[in-house]
C-alpha cells in the first residue's frame, strides 16, 4: 500500500502495510511545519522519509514528533529522525522514563528482538489535556492512560471534521506494560465523548465515519468487559 492523504494535509506515511510489518501506523500533518505522529519501529526510517518526499513534502520541515506512547513499534524511528532533521520528541511524562532508560520491557523492545538505546525526550506532556498551536492549527493531546500509564490520544478539527489519532486503543492490557483497566475504561469513555468523525488507529488503519469510530471503541470496551 502507498502513503496517501486521509483528509487535506493529513497523511498516512507508514504502517504495517506501508513501510514495515513491525511498524505502528505513522501519520503526518502538514502545517507550516510537519508534525509526525509516531515513528515506526526503527527499521523503516528511510522508507518513511521516502514516502514524505513522494507526497511532495519536505522532511527538513519535520520539527515535531508526537509519540503516542513508549512502545518500540511507535518510537523506534524517532531518535534517527531527530538526528537528521532536528525534530523535537514529545511524549507524556509518565511514558518518558522507558525511553530515557532504554528499558527493554517497558518499550517492548525485547518483544521485537531489538534494542532501544537511552534517548532524551525534548518535551514532556504533563496535563490531562494539552493544546499545541502550529501554523494556526490547534492540536490537542489528551492523556488517555490504560495501555500504558502515559498513553496519549491526539485530536484536531479540520475541514469540518474531527480527526482522532488513537494508537493502541485496542491494548493489549498487560501487567508488564503497566496497563490499567480502570484507567483504560475512563480513557475510552472520554474518547467516545469526542464524537470523532475519523479515527487514525495504530495497527488496523483508519475508520472513516462517526459510527465506525464508535463501533470500534465499543467493540473493545465489550471485549474488556467494561460495557
Ligand atoms: Zn503498537
Ligand atoms: Zn503499544
Q: Where are the beta strands (DSSP E) in 15-122?
A: 26-30, 34-37, 62-66, 88-92
Q: pLDDT band for 60, please (50, 70, 90 cuts).
A: very high
What is residue 106's predicted lDDT score, i.e. its pLDDT? 98
Distance 64 CA to ligand 2 centre (A): 20
pLDDT in tens, 68-91: 999 999 999 999 999 999 999 999
pLDDT in tens, 166-201: 999 999 999 999 999 999 999 999 999 999 999 999
Distance 36 CA to ligand 2 centre (A): 17
Distance 72 CA to ligand 2 centre (A): 8
Distance 171 CA to ligand 2 centre (A): 7
Q: Is the pLDDT of residue 152 over 90?
A: yes
Distance 201 CA to ligand 1 centre (A): 9
CA 98/CA 131 separation, integer angstroms: 24
For the segment 119-145, the average pLDDT, to the nearest whole number, is: 97
Q: Is the pLDDT of residue 97 over 90?
A: yes
Distance 68 CA to ligand 2 centre (A): 9
Distance 136 CA to ligand 2 centre (A): 30
Q: Is the pLDDT of residue 120 over 90?
A: yes
For the segment 198-210, the average pLDDT, to the nearest whole number, is: 96
CA 105/CA 140 separation, integer angstroms: 29
Exposure string for 105-144, b = 16+ CB within 10 A, e = fewer: ebbbbeebebebeebebebbbeeeebebebeebebbbbbb
Q: Is the pLDDT of residue 159 over 90?
A: no
CA 15/CA 109 separation, integer angstroms: 17
What is residue 185's predicted lDDT score, i.e. its pLDDT? 98
Q: pLDDT band for 47, please (50, 70, 90 cuts).
A: very high
- Mean pLDDT for the chain overall: 97
Amino acid at each position: 500500500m502507498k502513503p496517501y492523504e486521509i483528509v487535506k494535509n493529513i497523511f498516512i506515511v507508514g504502517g504495517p502495510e506501508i513501510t514495515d510489518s513491525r511498524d505502528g501506523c505513522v501519520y503526518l500533518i502538514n502545517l507550516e511545519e510537519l508534525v509526525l505522529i509516531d515513528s515506526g519501529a526503527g527499521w523503516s526510517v528511510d522508507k518513511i522519509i521516502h514516502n514524505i518526499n513522494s507526497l511532495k513534502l519536505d522532511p527538513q520541515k519535520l520539527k515535531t514528533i508526537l509519540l503516542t506512547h513508549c512502545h518500540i513499534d511507535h518510537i523506534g524511528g524517532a531518535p534517527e529522525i531527530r538526528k537528521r532533521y532536528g525534530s523535537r520528541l514529545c511524549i507524556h511524562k509518565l511514558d518518558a522514563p522507558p525511553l530515557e532508560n532504554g528499558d527493554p520491557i517497558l518499550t517492548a523492545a525485547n518483544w521485537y528482538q531489538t534494542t532501544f538505546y537511552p534517548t532524551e525526550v525534548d518535551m514532556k506532556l504533563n496535563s490531562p489535556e494539552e493544546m499545541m498551536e502550529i501554523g494556526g492549527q490547534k492540536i490537542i493531546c489528551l492523556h488517555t492512560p490504560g495501555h500504558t500509564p502515559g498513553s496519549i490520544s491526539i485530536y484536531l478539527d479540520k475541514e469540518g471534521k474531527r480527526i482522532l489519532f488513537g494508537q493502541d486503543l485496542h491494548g493489549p492490557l498487560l501487567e508488564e506494560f503497566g496497563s490499567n483497566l480502570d484507567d483504560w475504561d475512563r480513557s475510552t469513555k472520554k474518547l467516545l465523548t469526542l464524537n470523532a468523525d475519523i479515527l487514525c488507529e495504530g495497527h488496523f488503519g483508519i475508520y472513516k465515519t462517526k459510527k465506525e469510530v464508535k463501533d470500534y471503541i465499543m467493540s473493545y470496551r465489550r471485549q474488556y468487559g467494561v460495557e
